Amino acid sequence: MEAAIGTSYDTAQINRLIRTRRSVFVSQFRRGGVIPDEIIGELLENANWAPTHKLTEPWRFTVFSGAGLKKLGEFQAGLYRQNAGARFKQEKYDKLLNTPSACSHIIAIGMRRSVSVSIPEMEEIAAVACAVQNLYLSATAYGLGGYWSTGGITFEPGAASFFGLEGDDKLLGFFYLGVIETPSGAGSRGPVMEKTVWIRG
């Protein structure tokens, strides 16, 4: 197929990038593999160019690496223990404590609510999700493993403030990054035409 009219991009490569993006989980990371901070900076810069209504740029990122990963593990395990009460499970505590050390970087994903512009919260969350998709695609382009999780302490009371979020801001999860040891398999999607209605007249 010929390139789209007026584009200077390799559309076949872009299509391939989007369609081969996969979540790569911590168990698939190479233990001890470290991604240069400069590459993480490029991923974040690409995330920063996500679409944003009225240019509120609501995404906020807190990046943990090196000893910072241990700090994150200790915080989230401690918060879980503090909040869990009767639902406390040692296995979950240990996972929260130790999982960060198996990653190269972890990026906490925040949504900062605009106080100067009135925009529905859904639009701000959608903008952050677009920024995360840019992270996903950029990680794929660099041959890195990564995934977005809203598990762990994402919705735990008292979590958001640790990441500089306050008031109506939201913690929207974590993006885990590592060097791939075991790639993810091929993905699949149902036909797009089963989810599409065309109205041509």
Residues forming a β-bridge with 29: 180
Region of residue 7 (phi > 0: left; psi between -120 and 50: alpha; otherwise: beta): beta
pLDDT above 70: residue 101: yes
Query: What DSSP string describes 9-62?
Result: S-HHHHHHHHHH-----GGGBPTT----HHHHHHHHHHHTTS--GGG---EEEE
Residue 65's CB is within 10 A of a number of other CB atoms, namely 18
CB 114 within 8 A of CB 124: yes
- Is residue 115 very low, low, confident or very high in pLDDT (cuts 50, 70, 90)? confident
pLDDT digits (tens, 9 = 90+) for 138-181: 999 999 999 999 999 999 999 999 999 999 999 999 999 999 99
Quick one: pLDDT at residue 188?
A: 95
Residue 78's CB is within 10 A of a number of other CB atoms, namely 14
Quick one: pLDDT at residue 4?
A: 61
Using alpha carbons, select from 123, 104, 106 the residue that is nearest to residue 59.
123
Rg (CA), the chain: 19
pLDDT above 60: residue 28: yes
Q: Distance between CA atoms of 112 and 101, rounded to whole angstroms? A: 27
Pairing state between β 105-111 and 170-178: antiparallel
What pTM was estimated for this model as a whole? 0.94
Domains assigned to the chain: 24-181 (3.40.109.10)
Residues forming a β-bridge with 176: 106, 147
Supply 82's token pair. Answer: 């503090």
pLDDT digits (tens, 9 = 90+) for 50-73: 999 999 999 999 999 999 999 999
Q: Distance between CA atoms of 143 and 35, rounded to whole angstroms? A: 11
Rounded mean pLDDT of 96-120? 94
Supply 168's token pair. Answer: 């109506």
